[in-house]
A and B are shown apart, each in its own frame.
Chain A
Amino acid sequence: MNTNSDFRKKIKKAEKTAYLATAFAFLASILLLFSVYDPTFSIFGKKEVAPTYTAIVEDEDTIENGIHVRTGLIDAEGLMMVVNNCTNCHSAKLVTQNRMNAERWNATIKWMQETQNLWDLGANQEIIVNYLVTNYPPKAKGRRMNLTDIDWYELKN
């Protein structure tokens, strides 16, 4: 009898361990699944629930302070021509980073047409190039510029 109840106790103990193990495995698998969806667990990084929707911008060509909000381009004559022809494949950031004269912009457009599937711009090409050289002109830098935009701070030893 004694050995029998001992055996039962052992079984019960084993059962308990098995339940615990199953529960742990279940929790772990859910954690794993979650980590696949959100590997950085970014959802816990902030208190508010991450929105799963984005506000619909009524006018996607809003201008604020002279800047076309969606692309960051300067609002000036020819803006929409540039937006519609030059920001389909690449970002406007690639355009505004580059400072070129009309000749080099025309050569770049030709290169994009020959190799990058850019379409024929027709009469719009002149408007686009005018916009670029007027609003994003090359700046002379010389052989070496001064260090600028220095954010001074106190270095503690």
Chain B
Amino acid sequence: MLGSFAAIIGTELVFGAKMPYGYTPLALQETDPFKLFNKNKEMVVLNDKPWNIEAQAHLLDDKVTPNSSMFIRNNGLVPENIKPTEWKLTIDGESVKNKKTYTLGELKSKFKQHTYQLTIECGGNGRSEFDPPAKGNQWTVGAVHCASWTGVRLRDVLEDAGIKKDAVYIGFHAVDQHLSGDPKKEPISRGCPMPKAMQDETILAFKMNGEEIPLAHGYPLRLVAGGWPASVSGKWVNRISVRNIIHDGEKMTGSSYKVPCKPVAPGEKVKDEDMCIIESMPVKSIITYPKTGATLKKDSSLKIRGHAWAGELEVTKMEYSIDFGATWKSCTIEKPANRLAWQHFSASINFPKAGYYEVWAKATDAKGVSQPMLIPGWNPKGYLNNACHRIAVKIV
């Protein structure tokens, strides 16, 4: 114990003595994203400016996703030099009765704290499968997570400030910087209709998995709205506007986070006014064990497991197929830890003979809607691909 202390001091003193003027500490200079964000080395970097990093299916095996496996989707640059003691959240907008500002301390002490496991999936998760290709980061299956978030209800804070009768939407603002460096531009400023803002589970979180939120995931304050596109869950939030119109912030307009109001043919041009804002995410599931590519001996059974979620709804049925969807067998599916948390499924599979198999997983939501086996409706920006997840298995 003492030895390690001495070693730390020795290094620290040398480090300190040699530290030149204006030198940025190593931690902030780090260019290895896995170290920088404490991510598993098997995470996949899609983009490094802005940072966009996704998980692989097998990395999401935990019931509650640890930071190391959580995807990062950034629209702008990660903010630096955040001072939590000086952090303020302002509630303003046309439809707020009294513009109010709270420090983090006030938020924590004034309002009751709640903890929920909340599924957050990028609207563009699965985009890479659309044909013709859709524009944006080419997410495969790993832009989803379900961590445990602790914070105060947005409703409690909004009610403290007072909401006018004409309120229809909330919009968040944050401190991240636009890629162009233009300080007048916001990278993203999205939001949700009042009924979603007022839900029990819509929280202003200051803790993730019982600890301070990692910087890349929104430290020190994040709006968390489970079951909706992850872009609604604004990071580094310092202002929430109560609007009397549908919030018109960055990435609320144009074609961002919107799909054609009516189905279109693949590749069809769609006018902005014919695009509708995505709200609840569709039913989906992912096999997290085993990792794709497993070979096993004939006559041994394969235990699979994973998670299923359905936006605002609960998953009521979970099935798997080993014959390309010709027949389906049921999996055990657990109840969610709370509303909007993903549910865990498992099954034990016996294969009839040696050969190449694919295990397909299919969830069905409370309204009887299931995941499609093929890529669902093409849309210009490649959102909402909830096609069955598949893993390859070989029996030898």
B334 within 8 A of A: no
Annotate A119-154 by CB proximity to B: 1 below 8 A, 0 otherwise.
000000000000000000011111111010011111
Which residue from chain A places its CB closest to the CB of B48 in the assembled complex? A91
CB <8 Å contact, A43 and B295: no
| Complex: A142 Cα to B185 Cα, angstroms | 38
Q: How far is the CB of A27 from chain B (nearest CB, A)?
A: 5
Chain B residues, CB < 8 A from A116: 179-180
Chain A residues, CB < 8 A from B7: 44
Interface SS of chain A: loop
CB <8 Å contact, B38 and A153: no
A40 within 8 A of B: yes
| Complex: A138 Cα to B46 Cα, angstroms | 18
Of the stretches A3-11, A74-82, A92-100, the one at the interface is A92-100
Given the interface pairs A37-B27, A117-B182, the reply to whether A100 lies near B135 with Cβ below 8 Å is yes
Which residue from chain A places its CB closest to the CB of B138 in the assembled complex? A97
- Of the candidates B35, B133, B292, the one whose C-beta lies within 8 Å of that of A99 is B133
Q: Which A residues from 38 to 81 make CB contacts under 8 A with B? A: 38-40, 42-44, 50, 52
Given the interface pairs A91-B47, A94-B47, A144-B387, the reply to whether A117 lies near B132 with Cβ below 8 Å is no
Chain B CB within 10 Å, residue with most, of A33, A142, A155: A155
Chain B residues, CB < 8 A from A143: 131, 374-375
A12 within 8 A of B: no
Of the stretches B9-17, B106-114, B154-162, the one at the interface is B9-17
| Complex: A90 Cα to B181 Cα, angstroms | 11
- Of the candidates A91, A144, A150, the one whose C-beta lies within 8 Å of that of B292 is A150
Given the interface pairs A27-B9, A30-B8, A157-B300, the reply to whether A93 lies near B46 with Cβ below 8 Å is yes
Interface residues in B, total, Cβ within 8 A: 53
CB <8 Å contact, B49 and A150: no
CB <8 Å contact, A43 and B5: no
A22 within 8 A of B: no
Which residue from chain B places its CB closest to the CB of A154 in the assembled complex? B295
| Complex: A115 Cα to B185 Cα, angstroms | 9
CB <8 Å contact, A37 and B25: yes
Chain A CB within 10 Å, residue with most, of B12, B181, B291, B358: B12
Given the interface pairs A34-B12, A141-B131, A145-B129, the reply to whether A151 lies near B293 with Cβ below 8 Å is yes
Q: Which B residues from 34 to 58 make CB contacts under 8 A with A? A: 35, 38, 45-50
Chain A residues, CB < 8 A from B15: 34, 37, 43
| Complex: A122 Cα to B266 Cα, angstroms | 31
CB <8 Å contact, B358 and A34: no
Interface residues in A, total, Cβ within 8 A: 45
CB <8 Å contact, B135 and A38: no
CB <8 Å contact, A152 and B138: no
A1 within 8 A of B: no
- Of the candidates B18, B136, B181, B295, the one whose C-beta lies within 8 Å of that of A155 is B295
Known: A34-B12, A37-B25, A90-B179. 19 other contacts (CB 8 A): A31-B5, A34-B8, A37-B27, A40-B35, A40-B38, A43-B11, A52-B26, A90-B49, A91-B48, A97-B46, A100-B133, A100-B135, A111-B254, A142-B131, A143-B374, A147-B358, A147-B391, A152-B295, A154-B294
18 residue pairs of the A-B complex, CB under 8 angstroms, read A31-B5, A37-B25, A38-B25, A89-B181, A91-B49, A94-B47, A94-B137, A97-B46, A97-B47, A98-B135, A104-B135, A116-B180, A117-B185, A141-B131, A144-B375, A151-B292, A152-B295, A154-B296
Interface residues of A (CB under 8 A from B): 27, 30-31, 33-34, 37-40, 42-44, 50, 52, 89-91, 93-94, 97-100, 104, 108, 111, 115-117, 138-145, 147, 150-155, 157
Interface residues of B (CB under 8 A from A): 5, 7-9, 11-12, 15, 18, 23, 25-27, 35, 38, 45-50, 129-133, 135-138, 179-182, 185, 254, 290-296, 300, 302, 358, 373-375, 387, 390-392, 394
